[in-house]
Amino acid sequence: MATVAEGIGVATNNVAEYRAAIAGLRAAAEHGAERVLLRSDSRLLIEQLAGRFKVKARNLIPLHLDARAAMRAFKEVRLEHVPRERNVEADALANQGVDEWLAGGGADGTDPPEDSLF
């Protein structure tokens, strides 16, 4: 099992959820996984990736396309919505990423360089 925790700068929760999913999928592919379980406390993310909800927000469309492309690297991808109160480990990693971003100078309101997002 691998974990990913990194700051992404100022972003909406939905953008952060997509970026986390993409980073996790890429990490799983780099580790040679063939099957993945993508768990998220964002029902919107899970339903959009499953194709049950449309992606209406223009800023999410490229992230959705990136996530769907990353999913194609696997033989099987299962998607699971997990209520936030049952997703303590992911919440801790998100907080760690924010803390590291702030410690690295992100507190001045600037985003990290684009190539450091994933």
What are the residue ranges spanned by the domains of the chain? 13-100
Higher-pLDDT residue of 46, 2: 46
Q: What's the CA gap between 6 and 82, in Å, rounded? A: 21
Report the top-level CATH class of 13-100.
alpha beta
pLDDT tens digits, 23-72: 999 999 999 999 999 999 899 999 999 999 999 999 999 999 999 999 99
**pTM of the predicted protein model:** 0.70
Higher-pLDDT residue of 28, 13: 28
In this predicted structure, the answer to whether residue 116 has a pLDDT above a threshold of 90 is: no
Q: Quickly list DSSP for 48-68.
A: HHHTSS----TTTHHHHHHHH
Mean pLDDT highest for which of 16-20, 52-56, 101-105? 52-56
**CA dihedral sign of residues 48, 54, 57, 59:** positive
Higher-pLDDT residue of 7, 72: 72
